Structure 1
């Protein structure tokens, strides 16, 4: 996987940064971040899945490279006990992008996309197709097959293993309830038509599990 990701990274970043050494150093930084031992879901597999999803929607995106850069950095900083992961990930992206030829407004777009992953239930501009597709792709695991969804749920639980189970149970229930009461989980028609019903079934099933014996 790392070799495939490396090829994608250099294809994306070579046009905006001539220094191969600098590109490679940032790549290694990202690979190390997503490969930390405490990660179970927010890993390189997640990055690759999002890159694949974004590529499938490439013809509908206004700025594919910006969305791809957001994918690479959006979970680069991830600590279950912190509430500023998205802000710190956006800052990391901006530090790298400041060395590139990418226009300032596009650098800020990368940061904005990353920061919007903090809360998928918040209001987003209806006309921002790139943001909507990016967020829908990030949330697509909720509408996965039952088997894949339960694997995801257990992986998230494992990432919070340092949290006492009683506290995790209540916190996870709050997250699930918030998602279930959100009128719109997926903001683009293709994702909504394909995944919304399955996502709500999966979320309800996990909520039921936590209300009873847990996972």
Structure 2
């Protein structure tokens, strides 16, 4: 568990107390979330990732910060590297919890929608949905990190697929990277596009070149 676990617990309770007064139930769900994000075979999709997104959300001009933060908490709660339904399963877990709360049904569905849209960041997105675009950009922000942080991320993702031999991982990862690199834009919010787009494209191209040379 990261040293910031008490801070994350405090954030979780501050977010969910107005939605679910029963503290013991909130704590049980937090423990379940923490356990899911901290299983030993996770290296990038951990509580550290959640903490980073929540920190970004603090400074973001969000229209519905509660919904976005709930989506952050649940968006990778189900993450099995060899499955293709992680986002749908994560959305299901979010809804299962939210149905215990007083959050309006439309906002519950909105949380699930945000999570489900992370399944493919290159798909077309509603251009006027500011919160969705921010959430997707924040989730991808590691791509535009300084080189040392990007390479750490790339190695962490490789470890999450450690059951897949390089012979299979290399072309699969290369395909994912190339698809992102071919997208007209990676980041859809003006601020993150300006701050991260160029460096993200350099990082993606560098990782592709590394795999073409044989590996990270």
Q: TM-score, normalised by structure 2?
A: 0.98
How far apart are the structure 2 equivalents of 1:35 and 1:172?
Answer: 23
Q: Say which of 50, 55, 71 aligns to 1:52.
A: 55
Q: Counterpart of 1:176?
A: 177
CA offset digits 1:84-110 (Å, max 9, x no partner): 000000000000000000000000000
Distance 1:205 1:137 in 2: 21
**Alignment partner of 1:43 is 2:46:** yes
Q: CA deviation at 1:53?
A: 0.6
Counterpart of 2:192 in structure 1 is: 191
Consecutive unaligned residues in structure 1, runs of 5 or more: none
After TM superposition, which residue ranges in structure 1, 4 or more long, deviate above 2 angstroms? none
> Following superposition of structure 1 onto structure 2, how do residues 1-215 of structure 1 map, counting pairs within 5 Å?
1-57=4-60, 60-215=61-216
Show CA shifts across 1:57-112 (max 9, x none). 0xx21100000000000000000010000000000000000000000000000000
Partners of 2:123 and 2:56 lie apart in 1 by: 22
Cα shift at 1:164: 1.4
Find the aligned partners of 2:212 and 2:57 in 1 and give their Cα distance. Answer: 35
* Unmatched tracts of structure 2, length 5 or more: none
TM-score (norm 1): 0.98
Looking at structure 1, the residues matched to 33 and 188 of structure 2 have their Cα atoms a distance apart, in angstroms, of 29
